Structure 1
Amino acid sequence: MADMGRLVPAVTRALDVLELFLESEGPLSAPDVTRRLQLPRTTVHELLTTLAARSYLAPVPEQPGRYRLGVRTHQLGSRYAEQLDLAAEGQQVAREVAETCDETVHVAILEDTDVIYIAKVDSTHAVRMVSAAGRRLPAHCTSVGKMLLAALPEAELDARLEGRELPAMTPDSITDPAALRAALAEIRARGTAVEHRESNPDVSCVAAPVRDGTGRVVAALSISVPMIRWSGERESELAELAQKGAGDLSVRLGHRGAW
């Protein structure tokens, strides 16, 4: 079994506190938490104060000294449910797109400065991209990742990239921050992202944005093609197909505006 690393006691205690509320039918007080977890009163007070300050817990106005789960836990739960729906719907749409073009199709989400592939359907060709759902890659090296970075508000993009190195996966990977920002500006103007041998020296990809019911970009759909089947004409065809697939997935997620 792989070494999982050391557990952080303070984080473990904070999670123990939150999980008490999963078992409780109503609000809990500091003495309740102290008794159930057998922790020092001072520690419990600090944990409750911190969790409330971050909106993971909320004081109950009509019951002074008692707490209930806060809005942040609801947001996390909603995001988890959204991603489960996104993965299921993404797999279905990826299958439909793959049946049309017979190339490998991915759906991915952004996590910090990485992408995580949540759905994938393979090409039936003998020569095809080898990958897997659940795989994580640097966003700047992939078409889906660049599409998702391009969709971020400027301030959020700055925060994610500040002080970060851009590691290369191939000789064609973008490693210069200024070059990445220029590429993202082009992607915003064009509406699709292209990757030429930036994560795999034998593969090019094209990606389009997936939006939810609020219009927010929550994922990207890409089509990956070995270089032996890639051309300018093929790129245009697949860009159009990626946009259609991403648009179909957006509709499934409740989006009703322009893709």
Structure 2
Amino acid sequence: MGRLVPAVTRALDILELFLEGEGTLSAPDIVRRLQLPRTTVHELVSTLTARSYLVPAPGRPGYYRLGVRPYQLGSRYAQQLDLAAEGEQVARTVAETCEETVHVAILEDADVIYIAKVDSTQAVRMVSAAGRRLPAHCTAVGKMLLASLPDEERAALLPDGAPLRAMTGNSVTDPARLRGLLAGIRERGLAVEESESNPDVSCVAAPVRDRSGRVVAALSISVPLIRWSQERLPELAELAAKGAAQLSERLGHGQHAGHGSTQ
């Protein structure tokens, strides 16, 4: 582990004090409990307040309470826990139907992380694990998630003149070509990857949306080449789309007006 940054550690120590007691503290309270210089506490509290991690306590001059930002971070963390649990249940249902391996993945920077996986019951099957990280552009789930990003975010992850990593001979390494493929994926709402991350496996993926309509994950079906064919692709695509829609519904998508878009 790298060196800890003292200022960040102290800021987190201040935030963690609010987990105790009545939830409001003054700067002198923080100085006393953490044994920090008054100037340091003043600067840290001012910074945390400016970033909405703390707010002045109503009706108590000089006192602070937690702001909206910790709540937002906690909500996002809880959402990911729900996504993993719900994703595994839906993936199991899809896997039982098609007898192939099913994944649910999220995007982190330019990689995908598999947060749920249910294995195929077939003797020949894809070998992978939840928690695995792969370059997004080499996978069906990753291409689906990249295609769903706002243009500026996608451009930052796929800069011109920077060749992309290849995992197999079929991997797309030209950012310009990838952007063209992503445009088509965005229109279809479906991504296909043929032996781009594993020479013996192809996949099809569909987007998973949260309550706001934002794409937060993708669900894929992975099939060994011995069972993959263009004739079977429509059936697999339909199953992936239905599974993704079911998971989206579990996350609250479609339960209120104003769903938003892939962008």
User: Same fold by TM-score, threshold 0.5 exceeded?
Assistant: yes
Q: Distance in 2 between matches of 1:169 and 1:55?
A: 42
Deviation at 1:213, TM superposition (A): 1.6
2-structure distance, mates of 1:171, 1:197 = 8
Aligned CA RMSD, in angstroms, stands at 1.9
Deviations for 1:103-144, whole angstroms, at most 9, x for unmatched residues?
000011112222111110000112111111111112111111
The one-letter code sitting in structure 2 at the alignment partner of 1:238 is L
Question: Which residue of 1 is the match for residue 8 of structure 2?
Answer: 11
Shift of 1:250: 1.0
Aligned partner of 1:136 in structure 2 is 133
State the match for 2:195 in structure 1: 197
Q: Does 1:145 align with 2:142?
A: yes
Q: Are the equivalent residues in 1 in contact too, given 2:200–2:224 (CA < 8 A)?
A: yes
Q: Bigger shift: 195-204 or 95-104?
A: 195-204
Match of 2:107 in 1: 110
> After TM superposition, which residue ranges in structure 1, 4 or more long, deviate above 3 angstroms?
159-165
Q: Which residue of 2 aligns with 1:224?
A: 222
- Give the alignment partner of residue 94 of structure 2, picking from 80, 97, 101: 97
For 1:177, the aligned partner's letter is: P
Mapped contact 2:23–2:66 kept (Cα < 8 A) = no
1:68 corresponds, among 50, 53, 65, to: 65
The aligned runs of 1:150-169 (5 Å cut-off) are 150-162=147-159, 166-169=164-167
Distance 1:54 1:174 in 2: 40
Paired residue for 2:170?
172
Q: Where do residues 179-190 of structure 1 align in structure 2 (5 Å cutoff)?
A: 179-190=177-188
1:46 maps onto 2:23 in alignment: no
TM-aligned CA deviation for residue 28 of structure 1: 1.3
Q: Give distance in 2, aligned partners of 1:162 and 1:13.
A: 36
Taking only the aligned residue pairs, the percentage that are identical comes to 77
Cα 1:123–1:183 shift into 2, 3 Å: same
Secondary structure of the 1:218 match is strand
1:29 is aligned to 26
Matches of 1:29 and 1:158 in 2, distance apart?
Answer: 44
TM-score, normalised on structure 2? 0.91
Residue 217 of structure 1: CA displacement?
A: 1.0
CA spacing shift, 1:230–1:80, aligned 2, 3 Å: same
Q: 1:24 to 1:169 in 2, by over 3 A?
A: farther
Aligned partners of 2:87 and 2:247 also within 8 Å: yes
Give the total of aligned pairs. Answer: 256
Moved more, 87-96 or 211-220: 211-220
Uncovered stretches (5+) of structure 2, i.e. residues with no partner: none
Q: Distance in 2 between matches of 1:56 and 1:115?
A: 29
1: CA distance, partners of 2:130 / 2:145: 17
Gaps of 5+ in 1: none
Say whether the 8 Å CA contact 2:202–2:222 is kept in structure 1: yes
| CA distance in 1 between partners of 2:67 and 2:163 (Å) | 36
